[in-house]
Structure formats: structure tokens, C-alpha cells
A and B are shown apart, each in its own frame.
Chain A
Amino acid sequence: DQQVKQNSPSLSVQEGRISILNCDYTNSMFDYFLWYKKYPAEGPTFLISISSIKDKNEDGRFTVFLNKSAKHLSLHIVPSQPGDSAVYFCAASLGGSQGNLIFGKGTKLSVKP
């Protein structure tokens, strides 16, 4: 059973507009959430994270929102740029020193010029 779900396999957005990528989770014990970005033929790279004690974390054009009651998080990219076109993975952790990450299946974002 998938504990981390990204229900949209793909998203297409116009350059300059907002991109919103969504992620739902089922385990209320997750205490850290992360977003990774992956270009073809490269490994995923860390983008932004949020602790479960917060509801928002911002880093430049990227903002992650966490709604614990809905078990939902979202990544906002404003403004979107063609270089943002990639696959975005949502990940969650149960914490502890080992803290395995559980990944969603990814959403492919295409930003059109």
C-alpha cells in the first residue's frame, strides 16, 4: 500500500505562471517531508524540506506547504521557468537516526516557454 502518493503523473504550465505539485500521505507518524527534482539521466537532487511541526517553508521561488489534518503537502514554484521542467518526487520520513525515506512515484513537470 502506497504511503506517499503523487496522483498526477504529469503537469504542464506556462512559463512565468505558478506550478503546484501535490502529494498525499497516509501515515500520520511521518515527521519530515522532502521534495527532490530529477532531470533525465541524472540522480535526484534535494530541493526543499519541511518538518511536521511547520506548515510552510520557503526558499526562493520554491515554497512547500504542509496540511497535517489533510495529510497533504504541496510544492509551489513561482514563477515557473523552462529549466524547472523535470520529475519531482515527494518523500517522507518516520524519523530517527536512520530515517528511511519513502518516495512517491513522481510528477513530471513541463514548463512551456
Chain B
Amino acid sequence: DVKVTQSSRYLVKRTGEKVFLECVQDMDHENMFWYRQDPGLGLRLIYFSYDVKMKEKGDIPEGYSVSREKKERFSLILESASTNQTSMYLCASSAGGALSYGYTFGSGTRLTVV
């Protein structure tokens, strides 16, 4: 089974802090994604990456950055956390062309910014 592991299930951070959310996958997938899920808004794509050291902006990249130094690890960075970034953050990975099974998601990180 493909495993996508997010380092924290729950996080509480203060406004203005720099926050790192880590994601690791163990199946050598090329593609990795960061989403946030909010009630009534569904899954919104923040950033994605098709290869090491490359990144592409998704639909809502403002206030976020990412890092992919190794194929298996994709980090989401909140440069200066704000209360409107309180959300469920979901990491996903996929093999190139494996559309029949889509993405494999991690269990999510519930981030609260106070």
C-alpha cells in the first residue's frame, strides 16, 4: 500500500510564526500536492510538484511556499501564519499517468492559528 505520511495530525501556532508542514510518501511517486479543506469550499490546491526541486502554484498559493529537495518529501511552509490559514491541510501523491487511481492522500494536519 502506498503510504503518504503527514508529520502532525494537530498543530496550534501563533499568528506570525513560520510553520512547516511535512509530507513523505514511500512509493517513488513523481507528483505531490498540497491542498487545504474548508467547510463549503471543498479541496483547494495550494501548490504542487512534478519533480524534485520543481514547484507550481495552485489556485491559492498566497501566503504559502513549498520545498521539494527529495523525491519522497514535500514541505508546505506558512511564512507568517495568520488566522485565516486555520484549516485542514492535506498532502497527496500520484504516479505519473496513474489516473485510474488518482491521488493517495495523507491523513491530514489540522492547523489552528491563534
Given contacts A41-B110, A43-B105, contact A99 B42 (CB under 8 A): no
Interface residues of B (CB under 8 A from A): 4, 9, 31, 33, 35, 40-43, 45, 48, 50, 90, 92, 94, 96-97, 99-108, 110
Chain A interface helix/strand/loop/mixed = loop
Interface contact B108-A43, CB-CB below 8 Å:
yes
- Write the chain B residue with the least CB distance to A99: B99
Residues of A within 8 Å of B106, CB to CB, are 43
Residues of A within 8 Å of B90, CB to CB, are 43-44
Interface residues of A (CB under 8 A from B): 6, 9, 31-32, 34, 36, 41-46, 49, 51, 89, 91, 93, 95-101, 103-106
Interface contact A106-B42, CB-CB below 8 Å:
yes
A93 to B102, CA, bound (A): 9
Interchain nearest-CB distance for B57 vs A (Å): 12
Given contacts A49-B102, A93-B99, contact A42 B42 (CB under 8 A): no
A95 to B97, CA, bound (A): 8
A109 to B33, CA, bound (A): 26
Interface contact A101-B103, CB-CB below 8 Å:
yes
Residues of A within 8 Å of B41, CB to CB, are 105
Interface contact B43-A103, CB-CB below 8 Å:
yes
Q: Which of B42, B50, B107 has the largest number of chain A CB atoms within 10 A?
A: B42
Residues of B within 8 Å of A44, CB to CB, are 43, 90, 103, 105
Q: Which of B9, B41, B43, B108 has the largest number of chain A CB atoms within 10 A?
A: B43
Residues of A within 8 Å of B43, CB to CB, are 44, 89, 103, 106
Residues of B within 8 Å of A91, CB to CB, are 102
A9 to B94, CA, bound (A): 27
Pick the residue among B4, B31, B45 that contacts A43 (CB under 8 A): B4
Residues of B within 8 Å of A42, CB to CB, are 107-108
- Write the chain A residue with the least CB distance to B6: A43
A80 to B41, CA, bound (A): 26
Given contacts A43-B106, A91-B102, contact A105 B96 (CB under 8 A): no
Q: Would you give 14 A-B contacts (Cβ < 8 Å), ordered by A?
A: A31-B99, A32-B100, A41-B108, A43-B105, A44-B103, A46-B102, A49-B99, A95-B99, A96-B97, A99-B94, A99-B97, A100-B45, A100-B48, A104-B42
